[in-house]
Amino acid sequence: MRRSLITAVAVASLAAPLALATAGTAAAAPTPPKAPVTDFNHDGYADLAISAPGHYNTDEPGSVSVVYGSANGPDKAHAVTISRDTAGVPGSAADGGHFGGQTAASDLDGDGYTDLVVNGGEKAVVLWGSAQGLSGRGSVELDSNGARVTAGDFNGDGKGDLVTAEYPEPEDPMDNDDAGMTIAYGPFQKDGKAASTQRVVTSQTFGPGDFVAGDVTGDGIDDIVSSHGFEEMAHKSQLWKGGKDGVATTSQKLAPSLGGAVADVDGDGYGDFVTRD
């Protein structure tokens, strides 16, 4: 990978071969990908969570600001900021905590309110949605590593799931053949416990550096793209297909990538993986 971030993005239409039908048979129409609406207070207006983790070379503890939607657009007058020092949030603000380094929004407990998972430090924190929006009230730390976390529905049951990176050897997390990911399937209980979990070893010299979730096969179930390493040390990314029995334990190799998004950019009904070049 080149050091500089190219303005253009690379688009990989991963599912295109899956759409081809054999002679004499009709291809099943894909399920158009849907963007979930983030609504922390369930008032029908989309809300926004903005991370401010602080630069990784500073001692900033980090925070997340929440701006609620309204009939008149973003309601900046009632925005709230949540950090490790907010009442009810586990732990405390510390140098290098970088609370908000990554966030993932999903209705994890199935109550109709979008919840927010915030990483920072060794564990990720779940902020539960409510009629009053997000706060530290009742928030809990997840058992899994909070370094990388992404939300989706990886078994198609309509419940919010999470995928997190797992590094069995934390003293050298990037150079670890046993590194992988843990998929926690919803619904989640208020203590943060998932209905079930699945661990998948990614079998790369470098453990997962990032995840992108979305449906690229057109079956209505989210898939996972894991990236490994970065820049000159980048290894091939991997596509892990979601299914009714959970995430596949074997992957399809892709070109190296870091981050990105899934969206139907060519209008064919299949989610496409968009990433940097």
Tens of pLDDT, residues 19-44: 323 334 445 666 665 666 899 999 99
Res. 103: pLDDT tops 80: yes
Q: Which two tokens stand for residue 22?
A: 């054999």
What pLDDT digit, counting tens, does each position of 131-172 carry?
999 999 999 999 876 668 999 999 999 999 999 988 766 555
What pLDDT sits at residue 151? 96
Res. 11: pLDDT tops 70: no
- What SS3 state is found at 18? helix
What pLDDT sits at residue 23? 39
Q: Which residues does 124 contact at the CB level (< 8 Å), separation at least 6?
A: 117, 118, 141, 142, 144, 145, 146, 149, 164
Q: How confident is the model at residue 51 (pLDDT cuts 50, 70, 90)?
A: very high
Section 218-241 average pLDDT: 87
> CA-to-CA distance for 173 and 206, rounded, in angstroms?
8
DSSP bridge partners of 206: 175
8 A C-beta contact, residue 242 and residue 221: yes
**Residue 179, burial from CB neighbour count under 10 angstroms (0-12, 13-18, 19+):** buried
> CA-to-CA distance for 215 and 224, rounded, in angstroms?
8
Residue with tokens 């899956």, as numbered in its chain: 18
Other beta carbons less than 10 A from residue 195's beta carbon: 14
Res. 173: pLDDT tops 70: no
Annotate 140-204 with DSSP letters as a single string: EEEEEE-SSEEEE-SSSSSS-EEEEEE-S-TTSTTB-TT-EEEEEESPPPTTS--SEEEEEE---
- Nearest 5°: the CA angle 62, 63, 64 is 145
Residue at 196: amino acid letter = S
What pLDDT digit, counting tens, does each position of 178-210 carry?
778 999 999 999 999 999 999 998 876 667 888
Q: Which two tokens stand for residue 167?
A: 């590094």
Give Cα 249 to chain centroid, integer Å: 19
Res. 4: pLDDT tops 70: no
Q: What is the mean pLDDT of the chain?
A: 82
Q: Which two tokens stand for residue 40?
A: 């922390």
Res. 175: pLDDT tops 60: no
Of 257 and 118, the structure prediction assigns the larger pLDDT to: 118
> CA-to-CA distance for 250 and 62, rounded, in angstroms?
36
Res. 85: pLDDT tops 50: yes
In 3D space, the residue among 209, 164, 212, 208 whose CA is nearest the CA of residue 184 turns out to be 164
